[in-house]
Amino acid sequence: MTDMTWIAENKNLFIRRTLYALIIIAASVLQNTAGFFPEIFSARAFLLIPVVICTAMFERDAAGAAAGLAGGALWDITSQTDGYFAVLLFIAGCACGILINHYMRNNILTAVVLNSAFLMIFSITHCLITLGGTGLCVSSFFGFYLPSSIYTLALMIPIYAFIRYLGKVFRDSEK
């Protein structure tokens, strides 16, 4: 099999994964540029989390881990942490891909459960790491992280639908 035959056979895979990469970049820009995406009562949307998790749900473990690593690296570039988001989103992408591949069904309810669980893990660990378990941690969790997680969950539904649509369009045409 020549290289051109292999590329022609996998054209839709390349297009689909390129579109996922562009979605991750767009989510990073929207999330990390101040004033670019609306904040509701100081709650920010963590757009990279549902984008990575939903991508992992449709692309499974290895591609989900790569999406998590890429999204986390983009988030780390604009934050003051050294690899925290890359590691956390890498684990989330890989774990969600494995769970969908072996144990769970890929549907909107599963997406809500996985995003909720990971948003709580992210919120608790980030609050504890950045604030060091001080008294500000509780007020910060209920005043910023919990409302931001709810805001992110509300935005997860159209993100899931869009990523599902892209996956379906480019997977159906592979057959």
Mean pLDDT by 10 residues, the chain (175 residues): 64 81 89 78 86 89 88 86 87 90 89 93 83 73 84 91 84 55
- Examine residue 134 and state whether it is found in any structural domain, yes or no: yes
Domain count, the chain: 1
pLDDT of residue 175: 47
pLDDT of residue 131: 72
pTM here?
0.87
Q: What is the dihedral of CA 65, 70, 74, 76, to 10 degrees?
A: 40
pLDDT of residue 52: 93
- Examine residue 6 and state whether it is found in any structural domain, yes or no: no
pLDDT of residue 109: 93
pLDDT of residue 6: 63
Residue 92 belongs to domain spanning: 11-35+45-172
